[in-house]
Structures are given as structure tokens and as C-alpha cells.
């Protein structure tokens, strides 16, 4: 139960699981600031299809910047954050940071634990996710909102007076994490996959101006089960070293965005020249001179980037013909973006990169975005998106 007896706002609890951790999020329902006619789920789904086919960007740097500015202004419990949805309507989201809620334990239905609304997060909804996300057959106020505010819930330490939270998983010590990463990075440098990557970059991307590296959703080096994290971070270091060699050691900005990262990650990443940045800043950094890596993200990275940028290189799962159900779907817009890229395989039997490929933009010259900062060109095709 919320500790504010007047707080009857509907919210749902979602857990986001990776092999490293399970994060619990509370999804509130925003207040619609302009009245809207009630519609059925089918009508709302048809509207989402229409909006998608019309070419309207679901994600824009302007909308992300506006949200980021509000998050950075350090709102406290009771403050409101306002976003606009795809129809242009304003949505008001209530900030609950610091408040608490009691949740039933998943292991023992009779046990309850206190959780604190700890961190603000963004629930990114691709068109397919929006269409499949109608709870209880109702069209809520967030029906057309591709960016929805949510709160990360952390278990409260009932013995502490100041509502301290208990980390779910053991976070490694800085020196151990740094040493383990160095070892993994050396192992990675000796793999065929790394050698192939360097050769592909030298042969096909030497003419692309690149001054930024952004790694999304790599996971946490400081949490257990971090083999993939280490390999993906080591790959980013390889790319940084390639760029430094190419540009005679001039500056390359290197960023990592994953809400799972801890203060230990921040220090270890800083030591290797990477800045750990908060969601949603990473999207604002991606541009036409960027190298982007994103493997198995819990967010629709490809769909967001297809709307806002044309990075020089994107390393991510191969774009499939038909896939709208995954957390990072290959949608018509993603497929259209990828037409401007050449695909290169890692050409190795390394399990870590079996389904990951390298997309290098066909044009070495950075393309110019549309006046609204987006890249999507409406085709007039009314591509139907299957629901989740
Ligand atoms: C299934 S894990 C994949 C981790 C790793 N890349 C791998 O290959 O094992 C999904 C990751 O997406 C991250 N993630 C979720 N929301 C994100 C966001 N808004 N920006 C960046 N990463 C995010 C999660 O924290 C988690 O580490």
C-alpha cells in the first residue's frame, strides 16, 4: 500500500530480467491534460498503425531532451513531469521518489516487503509494444505515449531509519572488478572475432568520420554473470583504440548507458576512458559520427535510433524480415534504415557474436537529418505491426 492514503493512482509493477539481475519497476498512469474521446482497444490499435504509417517519429531528440531536462532538474515526490504523446496531447506523470510501497513476496504470498521508489526511468514503447500493451482491455491515458515515466523500486532495509535500500545482488569491489575486466579484455584481444572486427573496420570504415562511441545495454561489470558485459565493453575499447590510432590520439568521446550500472561500474569505466551516463542521455549523444553497440537490450534501441540518427556503424542483432515481438524489434522503419548500410558478419564461431552483426553506413559522408532532427522518410506504406 502506498504511504499516501490519498494516492489512489492506478499503477502496475513490471520486472525486467537479465542474466545479471531482476529490476522491479512501477508504472504509473499519467493524467491526460486535454480531454479525449473514449475508444476501444481495436480503434486505438488502428490509430497507432495510422500514426506509424504516416511517418510521424515516435522518438525525437527534442522530446528526449525535454524529458531529460525535467529528470535533471531533480524532481522530488509530488512534482510532475510532463510529456507529449503521439497525438500531441500532454501527459502529466507524478513523481514518487522516496515514497514507499508494500509488495507481496513472489516466493511467499503471505509475506510483504517494503520497497522505495528509488530512481526515475523511461519505459520506451515501440509501435508494436504500444499496440500489444493494453492492460485489462482498456485504453489508458498512456495509449499513444512511446516514452512513459516509471520508477525503479528497491527493497527497503526495514532496520534503517533513513529508508536505506538493500541491493539485490552483491556488487563487486572496484579493484576486483577492474582486474577481472582487464583479464577479459586481454582474452578478447586474442580472439579471432576481435581480429576480424579490426580487419572489417580497417577495410570498410576507414573513411567514415567517427568521434563518438556509445554502448547501450551492456550490463554491469560489477555484478555477477558479467561475461557478456566484459566482452562487449572490451569490444568498445578495441574500437576506441582503432579510432585513436586513426586520428593520432585525438579525442574520442566514449559513453556507456545501462540503468543497471553501479557506482563501481562508473569508476572502473572512467579508468578505461568511458563515461557512464544516465538514461535517456545516450540517445541524445548518438549522431552521424557515432559508433553504436547494443546487444540484447531490454529496450527498442533499433527503433529509437531509426527515428533519430544514422550512426556511422551499428553493432547489434541482425535485422530480421519480420519481428515485432522482441524487446528490440526489427520493424519496417528499422529495415528501411538498414537499407542504407552494408552488413558484415563477425565470421567466427564465437558464441558471444553468433547473431550479432556489424552495419556500416554505405555513405562515408554523414547524412543530414530532416528539419525536425529525424531521419525517417515516410513511404506511405501502411505497414501493419503485429501486437506483442
Ligand atoms: C538482456 S540484458 C543484455 C545484457 C548484455 N548486453 C548481454 O548481451 O548479455 C538487457 C540489458 O538492457 C539494459 N537496459 C534496460 N533499459 C535500458 C536503457 N534504457 N538503456 C540502456 N540499457 C538498458 C538492462 O539493464 C540490461 O542490462
The full DSSP string for 256-273 is EE-TT--HHHHHHHHHTT
Residue 293 Cα to ligand 1 middle (Å)? 11
In the chain, where the domains are located: 11-155, 174-361
Minimum CA distance residue for ligand 1 atom 9: 228
For residue 140, is pLDDT > 90?
A: yes
Q: How confident is the model at residue 16 (pLDDT cuts 50, 70, 90)?
A: confident
Q: 281: Cβ below 6 Å to ligand 1?
A: no
The per-residue pLDDT for 136 is: 76
Helix (H) or strand (E) holding 194: helix 192-204
Q: How confident is the model at residue 4 (pLDDT cuts 50, 70, 90)?
A: very low
Q: How confident is the model at residue 305 (pLDDT cuts 50, 70, 90)?
A: very high
**Helix (H/G/I), strand (E/B), else coil: 359:** strand
Minimum-distance ligand 1 atom for the alpha carbon of 219: 27
Q: Which of 259, 279, 350, 352 to mutate to test the pocket of ligand 1 (most atoms within 8 A of CB)?
A: 259
Task: Find the angle CA(303)-CA(308)-CA(366) to the nearest 5 degrees.
Answer: 120
Residue 23 φ then ψ, to 5°: -100, 135
Q: Which of 292, 297, 304, 352 to mutate to test the pocket of ligand 1 (most atoms within 8 A of CB)?
A: 297
Cα 10 from chain centroid (whole Å): 25
Let me know: does 251 contact 158? Beta carbons within 8 Å.
Answer: no
What integer best gives the mean pLDDT of the chain? 90
| Burial track 7-40 (b if 16+ CB lie within 10 A, e otherwise) | eeeebeeeebebebbebbbbbbbbebeeeeeeee
Residue 275 Cα to ligand 1 middle (Å)? 17
Cα–Cα distance, 286 to 305 (Å, whole number): 8
Task: Please tell me the least confidently modeled range out of 21-25, 206-210, 290-294, 332-336.
Answer: 21-25
For residue 205, is pLDDT > 80?
A: yes
More confident residue, 247 or 179: 179
Cα–Cα distance, 113 to 21 (Å, whole number): 18
Cα–Cα distance, 265 to 223 (Å, whole number): 9
Report the DSSP beta bridge partners of residue 69.
none
DSSP character at residue 158: T
Residue 50 φ then ψ, to 5°: -60, -45
Neighbouring residues of 294: CB distance < 8 A, sequence distance ≥ 6: 215, 216, 217, 301, 302, 314, 315, 316, 328
Q: 215: Cβ below 6 Å to ligand 1?
A: no
CATH class of 174-361: alpha beta
Residue 257 Cα to ligand 1 middle (Å)? 9
For residue 116, is pLDDT > 80?
A: yes
Residue 15 Cα to ligand 1 middle (Å)? 13
Q: 300: Cβ below 6 Å to ligand 1?
A: no
Residue 298 Cα to ligand 1 middle (Å)? 5
State mean pLDDT over 203-215: 97
Residue 371 Cα to ligand 1 middle (Å)? 31
More confident residue, 102 or 324: 102
Amino acid at each position: 500500500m502506498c504511504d499516501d492514503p490519498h494516492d489512489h493512482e492506478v499503477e502496475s509493477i513490471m520486472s525486467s530480467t537479465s542474466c545479471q539481475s531482476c529490476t522491479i519497476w512501477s508504472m504509473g498512469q499519467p493524467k491526460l491534460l486535454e480531454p479525449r474521446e473514449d475508444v476501444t482497444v481495436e480503434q486505438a490499435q488502428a490509430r497507432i498503425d495510422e500514426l506509424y504509417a504516416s511517418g510521424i517519429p515516435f522518438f525525437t531528440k527534442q522530446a528526449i531532451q525535454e524529458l531529460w531536462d525535467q529528470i535533471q532538474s531533480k524532481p522530488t515526490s509530488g512534482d510532475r513531469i510532463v510529456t507529449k504523446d503521439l497525438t500531441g496531447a500532454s501527459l502529466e506523470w507524478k513523481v514518487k521518489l522516496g515514497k514507499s510501497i508494500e509488495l507481496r513476496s513472489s516466493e511467499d504470498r503471505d509475506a510483504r516487503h517494503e520497497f522505495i521508489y528509488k530512481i526515475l526511468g523511461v519505459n520506451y514503447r515501440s509501435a508494436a509494444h504500444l499496440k500489444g500493451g493494453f492492460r485489462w482491455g482498456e485504453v489508458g491515458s498512456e495509449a499513444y505515449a512511446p516514452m512513459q515515466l516509471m520508477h525503479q523500486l528497491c527493497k527497503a532495509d526495514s532496520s534503517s531509519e533513513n529508508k536505506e535500500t538493500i541491493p539485490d545482488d552483491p556488487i563487486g569491489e572496484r579493484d576486483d572488478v577492474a582486474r577481472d575486466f582487464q583479464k577479459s579484455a586481454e582474452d578478447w584481444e586474442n580472439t579471432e572475432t576481435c581480429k576480424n572486427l579490426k580487419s572489417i573496420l580497417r577495410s570498410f570504415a576507414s573513411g567514415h568520420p567517427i568521434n563518438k562511441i556509445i554502448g547501450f545495454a551492456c550490463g554491469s561489470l560489477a555484478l555477477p554473470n558479467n561475461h557478456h558485459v566484459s566482452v562487449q565493453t572490451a569490444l568498445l575499447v578495441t574500437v576506441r583504440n582503432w579510432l585513436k590510432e586513426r586520428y593520432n590520439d585525438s579525442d574520442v568521446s566514449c559513453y556507456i548507458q545501462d540503468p543497471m550500472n553501479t557506482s563501481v561500474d562508473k569508476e572502473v569505466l572512467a579508468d578505461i576512458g568511458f563515461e557512464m551516463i544516465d538514461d535517456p542521455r545516450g540517445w541524445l549523444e548518438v549522431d552521424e559520427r557515432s559508433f553504436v553497440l547494443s546487444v540484447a537490450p531490454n529496450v527498442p534501441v533499433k527503433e529509437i535510433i531509426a527515428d533519430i540518427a544514422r550512426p556511422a556503424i551499428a553493432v547489434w542483432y541482425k535485422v530480421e524480415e519480420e519481428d515485432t515481438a522482441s524487446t528490440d524489434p526489427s520493424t519496417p522503419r528499422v529495415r528501411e534504415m538498414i537499407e542504407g548500410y552494408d552488413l558484415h558478419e563477425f565470421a567466427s564461431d564465437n558464441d558471444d557474436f553468433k547473431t550479432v552483426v556489424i552495419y556500416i553506413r554505405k555513405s562515408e559522408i554523414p547524412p543530414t537529418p530532416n528539419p525536425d532532427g529525424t531521419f525517417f522518410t515516410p513511404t506511405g506504406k501502411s505497414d501493419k505491426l503485429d501486437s506483442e
